[in-house]
Structure 1
């Protein structure tokens, strides 16, 4: 299944079950909550981390549909853009910094 198909299935399920399909701010909040649950599962080494990450993806797909975003196209574009970028590690902080767009 590709992202576009998953986004469509999530949207159909939201409609079928009567979940939020109009309140974007609420959906961002719910997505944030799911991300927090995934972090907590990882931090506590719980076996349901994968399920929690799947919840994050499902909420993200629903939010993308709600806002008219073709998430698959955006991901493909961003992957291409990121692949062309060049990074170097800052010796003082140890963090990576973009040095060229490519």
Structure 2
């Protein structure tokens, strides 16, 4: 699944379930919590690492939606920019 397709699905789920859709600073705090959980899972060699990383992606796409950004487009632009950098 690409990020541009994922973003509206994540957003619709948040709206349907009554999750935060307006407080960007809160969403960044929740993202930080998910990143910390992913680090812990990786450090402990836990099988839930993939699930925790997926949560990170979901929070990032939510923040992008709250900020009026298309995360798929933003990532594509950044990948091209990185590829054009000299070694």
The one of the two structures with greater contact order (alpha-carbon pairs below 8 A, sep at least 6) is 2
Alignment match, 1:58: 58
Alignment match, 1:98: none
1:45-72 alpha-carbon deviations (Å, 9 max, x no partner)? 1110000000000011111101101111
By how many angstroms is 1:5 displaced?
1.0
What is the RMSD computed on CA atoms of the aligned residues? 0.7
Alignment match, 2:16: 16
1:20-69 alpha-carbon deviations (Å, 9 max, x no partner)? 00000000000000000000000011110000000000011111101101
| Partner SS state of residue 65, structure 2 | helix
TM-score (norm 1): 0.83
Runs ≥4 residues deviating over 2 A: none
Unaligned runs of 5+ in 2: none
Q: What is the alpha-carbon distance in structure 1 between the residues aligned to residue 77 and residue 55 of structure 2?
A: 24
By how many angstroms is 1:13 displaced?
0.2
TM-score (norm 2): 0.97
Alignment match, 2:68: 68
Q: Select the structure that is richer in strand.
A: 1
